[in-house]
Amino acid sequence: MKNMKKLLVLIPLMVLAILGCSKSGGAKVADKGYDLYVFNTKGENAAQFEAMGKAFQEETSIRIKTFSIGAGQDSTAPLNTEMNSKNYPVIYCADYYGLESWIQGGFITNLNGVTGHPEFEKLAKSINPTLYLTNGGNANYGIPFNVEGYGYIADKQMIGLIFGADKVGAVLADITSASYAEWEALVKALDSWIKSPSAAQVALSGKAYTLAASKTGLAANLNGVFAVMGSESWTYGDHFVNIAINGAFATSPEAQKASDADIQAMKGLFVDYAQALDLKTSYLAGKNGPAKRGQDFVSSANFGYDQAVQIFADSKAVFFKQGNWAYGNIASVNPALAERLTFLPVKMPFKQADITRKDGLTVDKINSSIPVFVPNYYVVNAMATEAEKKAAYDFLVWLNTSKTGQHYVVDEFAFIPYNADPATTTVPNSLGNSIIEYMKSRNILSDPYHGSPSTWSGEQVGRVIFLENYLLKASWTTQDYNTIADTMIASWIKLKHEQQQ
């Protein structure tokens, strides 16, 4: 974050110089070939986003250039490169992590301060303040992408093949409310069943269920319990650790304001996190058979984003920790399976004493909920010309209010609109509707990991602690769990103080 701040402070000066040169002496600004440049950080919908841009241009005659990063790619470097060019994006994507740097660099527009565009002003004012991208007060710097959620994805048909087709609904409900001890026992029972099927029994929410005596149909493909993107640091450092951070903070701003003592108080939560991650990465499915932690597992050629999607879509794993953004990737490989998916909570061995929040959150609640939140925001580059900003406001109104724009948001991107009413909303994909069911029951968590220092979760936790160290170890010990937790705490505190300098 410290380095990013330095970069972002320099960029406005460079862009101003470029703009000044292009307009000096009354010289006519060269036509770029487009009126609006939109930088998309959701690589999973790159093709659909490009098609959406073409539809926008056809309907509005506003020429648009779109760019999308690769699926699972970190957007920081390519976005900074583009912002440092004379052909900068007018609309880009931001979240709470980098907000303060964009504000300090003069690169982001307070949308609640926009005037002269009544349709956009109406859109901006309609956003619930709880969904603002803000650093305080009445400022709002972004239009929410959507509402996203994640957990363990399961194929209902596979659950039926394991437990019986008439038991699917009951099994899923009882896994959702099961204790961590029951979840751990289930994972180990499934591992044994995959290796040597038998009519063994498991307990879920105190109820007994019997596994099928043999593997039939798609279940014959199974070779592991979990499909995991072994080479992707964010899957460990962002979304998985976010479950544990929910035990300490309800929101990103709360986490961002954490004192050293608050961070140190997360020791128990981080030990629980390490234990749960040990379980998940000990029962791995692979392309050609069961997989193990080690150098092969952290190789992007073998266990990257696409490879993990393929493993799950080929029914080689029972569970896949991912979000509803992966629906399109799964559907492109196996459309039939994509229609049968549902979410289950990511459970950890929390004890009530580990949970430091003061709002009454219980172990049962956190282990029966999934995170649901606004992951990213469309923001408008404050360095853009007035004509470019107007085109940006036109685009955001079109995307969020027009029939065509909403078709792309809901049907093509497989998004849940940020202003959706869970009581009346359905979407045309299984994972989106599963999230809506969690929203209806209010069994949802938030995204406080966005309040940690910007390089902490993905870089320090995901890459340094796990990709470069523990994911190369065949087995972990209780001492390893404690060392992992201590290292996580020390790096958060160190980065927090560096960020404040």
Question: Would you list the domain boundaries of the chain?
Answer: 2-144+375-417, 149-160+219-373+435-500
Average pLDDT for the chain = 92
Residue 12 has pLDDT above 50, yes or no: no
Give the CATH number of domain 2-144+375-417.
Answer: 3.40.190.10
**CA atoms of 340 and 334, how far apart (whole Å):** 11
Share of the chain above pLDDT 70, in %: 94
Sign of CA pseudo-dihedral 218, 222, 228, 230: negative
When pLDDT is averaged across residues 73-84 and rounded to a whole number, the result is 85
Average pLDDT over residues 450-473: 95
How large is the average pLDDT for residues 14-22?
A: 41
Q: How far apart are CA 328 and CA 348, in angstroms?
A: 28
The yes/no answer on whether domain 149-160+219-373+435-500 falls in CATH 3.40.190.10 is yes
pLDDT in tens, 244-294: 999 999 988 899 999 999 999 999 999 999 999 999 999 999 999 999 999
Q: Estimate the share of the chain in helix, then strand, then coil, as percent rounded to the nearest 5.
A: 55, 10, 35
Q: In Å, how far from its chain's centre is CA 353?
A: 28
- Please determine, for residue 5, whether its predicted confidence score (pLDDT) is greater than 50: no
The model's pTM is: 0.85
Q: State the distance between the two ends of the chain, measured CA to CA, in whole angstroms.
A: 11
pLDDT band at residue 18 using 50, 70 and 90 as cut-offs: very low
Give the Cα-Cα-Cα angle 3, 6, 8 (nearest 5 degrees): 110
Mean pLDDT, residues 83-93 taken together = 92
Residue-level pLDDT at 130 = 82
Going by pLDDT thresholds of 50, 70 and 90, the confidence category of residue 19 is very low
Residue 402 pLDDT class (50, 70, 90 cuts) = very high
Q: Which residue has the higher pLDDT, 232 or 9?
A: 232
The greatest distance separating any two alpha carbons of the chain, rounded to the nearest whole angstrom, comes to 83
Q: What is the dihedral of CA 7, 9, 14, 15, to 10 degrees?
A: 110
Which stretch of 36-45, 155-164, 286-295, 386-395 has the lowest confidence by average pLDDT?
A: 36-45
For 121-150, give one letter per residue: b (16+ CB within 10 A) or e: bebbeebeeebbbbeeeebbbbbbbbbbbb
Q: Which of 316-325, 408-417, 460-469 has the lowest mean pLDDT?
A: 408-417
How open is the CA angle 399-69-106, to the nearest 5 degrees?
Answer: 70
Q: What is the pLDDT of residue 136?
A: 77
- Whole-number pLDDT of residue 29: 58
For 14-28, 96-110, 111-125, which range has the lowest pLDDT when averaged over its residues?
A: 14-28
The position carrying tokens 């043999």 is 214
Contact 451, 252 (CB under 8 A): yes
Query: For residue range 210-241, what is the model confidence (pLDDT) as tens digits?
Result: 999 999 999 999 999 999 999 999 999 999 99
Three-point CA angle 441, 447, 452, nearest 5° = 160
The yes-or-no answer to whether 2-144+375-417 and 149-160+219-373+435-500 have a common fold is yes
Q: If 0-12 CB within 10 Å is exposed, 13-18 middle and 19+ buried, where does residue 335 land?
A: exposed
List strand residue ranges (DSSP E) for 120-247, in order.
Answer: 143-144, 148-155, 201-204, 207-210, 224-227
For 372-386, the three-class secondary structure string (H helix, E strand, C coil) is EECCCEEEECCCCCH
Residue 22 reports pLDDT greater than 70: no
Q: Is the pLDDT of residue 7 over 70?
A: no
Q: What is the pLDDT of residue 206?
A: 98
Three-state DSSP state, 148: strand
> Residue 245: what pLDDT?
98
Exposed, middle or buried, 464 (CB in 10 Å: 0-12/13-18/19+)?
middle
Given this model, what pLDDT does residue 6 score? 36
